[in-house]
Structure 1
Amino acid sequence: MLSEVFYWLFNMSISASVVGIIVLLLGKIKKLPRRLVHILWVIPFLRMWIPVGISSKYSLMTLVSKFTTKTVVVYEGALDYTLTNYIMAADKYFPITYKVNLLDNLFNIASTVWIIVAVGLMIGFSMLYVITKSELKDASLLRDNIYVSGKINSPAIYGVFCPKIIIPKGYEQRDLNYILAHESAHIQRKDNLWRIVAFISASIHWFNPFVWLFLKKFLEETELACDEQVLADCDEDEKKAYALALVDCAESMNVFVSPFGGAKIRVRIDRILSYKKLSIISVASFIVFAIAIGYVLLTNAS
């Protein structure tokens, strides 16, 4: 049973790699809003979790299937539901019957190693999260859900379901308007929750080096998308002040929080200063573009 799970997981990981590379290339287009690119990163993560997809002749996988891959039909009807099979190492799939015994042994061993490392990574991340939260229990309340701690070096959001804005000691005397706007945007977007989902996904697909690259880019795009959300309500002078506030904050190294000074500062400053508000037509065009990309990348070969 475990080897069958790993067999399909391995195929899902390949699909996630293919669509993740496409999203990575799309992210290089500077004119695309970062909030749109951030949403597009959901696609490879969905590919990591959902094995079954709707068949379509317009799918990217239809093009890929001309070179390699086999589609395994799960359900035939008005819409066909299929599994994408890149490995093609079996004669039958429900249950899987491998072509040779060597493959059966190989997947049994690989699946055991996979589950041990995956569980180990998730335990490690969980311990890091608990330790981080416990170290900040002595943070003092400033006002509302804003706390002050001497154990951090950059303002950040801590917690998932009851998130708190925690600022470093000494920041109380600063102008916190832009810092709080940024952190509040993280809370509205549930970014800490998506961070945890992303880390769980990477832990499950730990054997795929592309997944760790995608995780890094996703975390970077999270900060850029949050900056855009704040800038949508800023004029030119406020935009410059926001950039200065960002430069004034040190970078945070904690992977489980949404830090005001996270990601590459130079990239964020460049994006902030070059940001232009979108027209209604532009927003509508980008929504149509996102839907089209989602359809092409999430459907399976016909």
Structure 2
Amino acid sequence: MLQEVFYWIFNMSITAALTGTLITLVRSVKKIPRRLSVFLWVIPFARMVFPVGLNSPYSLMSLLSKTATKFVTVYQPTDDMSFSMMNSVMAADTYFPITYKTNILEDIFNIASVVWLVGALIILLILAVAYSAAFYEIKDSMHLRDNIYLSDKAFSPAVYGIVKPRIILPASYKNRDVELVVLHETMHIQSIDNLWRLSAFAIVAVHWFNPLCWLFLKLLLTDLELSCDERVLAKLDDNNRAREYALALLESKTDRTIFTSAFGGAKIRARIENILSYKKLTIFSTAVFIVFIGIIFHALMTNAG
């Protein structure tokens, strides 16, 4: 049972690596706003979670079906609709249950599945400890107003928590103008970024053996931060306020804990460059980008039909 689970996890990881690599290439197009392109990361992370995909003749996965990949149909409710699992390993002759081509392959997957499970449990334990430690650090924080708190353990502004998120500011911010800082953290809360981060960490913990999945996690965290900056800028009135925001960003830069809003996020230089080059979207350009992203979703979230 365990080795069958790992077999499909391994397949899902390969599919995620392929789609994530394509998303990385699309992401390099600077004209696409981060607050829109950030949604593209749903594709590789969904591929890490869901083994089954809807078949489509317009899927980019069709290109792989003619080379190194086989698609195993698992459900076909109608003649025009079917669901399949992408099989890139192709180490088996039959599926459900899996019958391996050779005994050596079966032995390899038996051993690898145990190593995978132990590694995943260790990483998930580390994440759980880090999550608890992050809250322990700010347990004595002082309430300032609303959901804003001050803590002498905090080195920079951050959001803690998911269900009842708190904005934690360093104690040194008590007598400072924190309007822009709070606005930034509020954007993180409205976009439930901490939930996305926690989910992404848990998913990558399951795919810990795939270095590309860790790269995609890093890029996702970067884009979440850049996306948040863009949403803040959309609410500001003029360029002077944008410069103030950039300065506030420089003043608050430091390392943060693993589950706070900016962990592993964009480097300060990249964020400043994104802020200075920011342009508000027109209705037309927004519509064009949404259609473009929708096409990519369909091409990469479906399997060969």
TM range (shorter): over 0.9
Change (3 A) 1:217 1:46: same
Q: Does the 8 Å contact 2:6/2:113 carry over to 1? A: yes
For each residue in 1:206-243, what CA deviation from the matched residue of structure 2 results, as whole angstroms up to 9, or x when unmatched? Answer: 00000110111111111000001111111211111111
How far apart, CA to CA, are the structure 2 residues paired with 1:262 and 1:248? 16
> What residue in structure 2 maps to residue 107 of structure 1?
109
Q: Secondary structure at the match of 1:152?
A: coil
Q: Distance in 2 between matches of 1:118 and 1:240?
A: 43
Cα distance, 1:91 vs. partner?
0.9
Distance 2:256 2:166 in 1: 18
* 2-structure distance, mates of 1:274, 1:221: 15
CA deviation after TM superposition for structure 1 residue 251, in Å: 2.1
Query: Could you tell me whether the CA contact under 8 Å between 1:231 and 1:239 is conserved in 2?
Result: yes
- Residue 12 of structure 1 is matched in structure 2 by 12
Task: Name the residue aligned to 1:179.
Answer: 181
* Whole-angstrom CA distance in 2 between matches of 1:259 and 1:222: 9
Match of residue 231 from structure 1: 233
1:80 Cα deviation after fit: 1.1
Q: Identify which range, 291-300 or 251-260, moves more after superposition.
A: 251-260
CA contact (8 A) 1:155 1:259 kept: no
What SS does the aligned partner of 2:169 have?
strand
Q: Which runs of 5+ in 1 are unaligned?
A: none
Q: Does 1:60 align with 2:65?
A: no
| 2:57–2:304 CA contact under 8 A, matched in 1 | yes
1:75 aligns to what SS in structure 2?
strand
- For 2:176 and 2:292, how far apart are their aligned partners in 1? 41
CA distance in 1 between partners of 2:287 and 2:255 (Å) = 35
- 2:256 and 2:263 in contact (8 A); partners too: no
Q: Distance in 2 between matches of 1:81 and 1:149?
A: 51
Choose which of 276, 282, 285 in structure 1 pairs with 2:285.
Answer: 282
Q: In structure 2, what residue type is equivalent to 1:116?
A: V
CA distance in 2, matches of 1:63, 1:257: 40
Secondary structure of the 1:166 match is strand
The separation in 2 between residues aligned to 1:250 and 1:62, in whole angstroms, is: 45
Report what 2:134 is aligned to.
132
Q: Distance in 1 between matches of 2:65 and 2:91?
A: 16
Maintained 8 Å contact 1:11/1:87: yes
Helix, strand or coil at the partner of 2:258? coil
Kindly indicate whether residue 262 of structure 2 is the aligned counterpart of residue 259 of structure 1. Answer: yes
Contact 1:2/1:111 (8 A) holds in 2: yes
Contact conserved, 2:155 with 2:256, CA < 8 A, in 1? no
CA deviations over 1:279-302 (Å, ceiling 9, x no partner): 001111111111100000100112
Alignment match, 1:191: 193
Contact kept, 8 Å, 2:53 with 2:83, in 1: the verdict is yes
Match of 1:210 in 2: 212
* Aligned mates of 2:241, 2:66 — CA distance in 1: 52
Q: Which runs of 5+ in 2 are unaligned?
A: none
Letter in 2 for 1:48: M
Give the residue type in structure 2 aligned to 1:270. E
- Distance apart, 1:261 and its partner CA: 10
Deviation at 1:198, TM superposition (A): 0.5
1:230-287 deviation digits (Å, cap 9, x = unpaired): 1111121111111111011122232211039952111101110110000001111111
Q: Structure 2 counterpart of 1:19, which letter?
A: T
1:249·1:261 contact (CA, 8 Å) conserved in 2?
no
CA contact (8 A) 1:179 1:260 kept: no
Which residue of structure 1 lines up, in the alignment, with residue 39 of structure 2? 39
Distance 2:173 2:205 in 1: 35
Task: Specify the alignment match of 1:29 in structure 2.
Answer: 29
The yes-or-no answer on 1:247 pairing with 2:250 is: yes
Say whether 1:86 aligns with 2:88.
Answer: yes
CA distance in 1, matches of 2:267, 2:67: 38
Asked if structure 1 preserves the Cα contact closer than 8 Å seen for 2:156 and 2:256, the reply is no
Stretches of 4+ aligned residues off by more than 6 angstroms: none
Instruction: Give the aligned length.
Output: 302
Give the SS at the match of 2:174.
Answer: helix
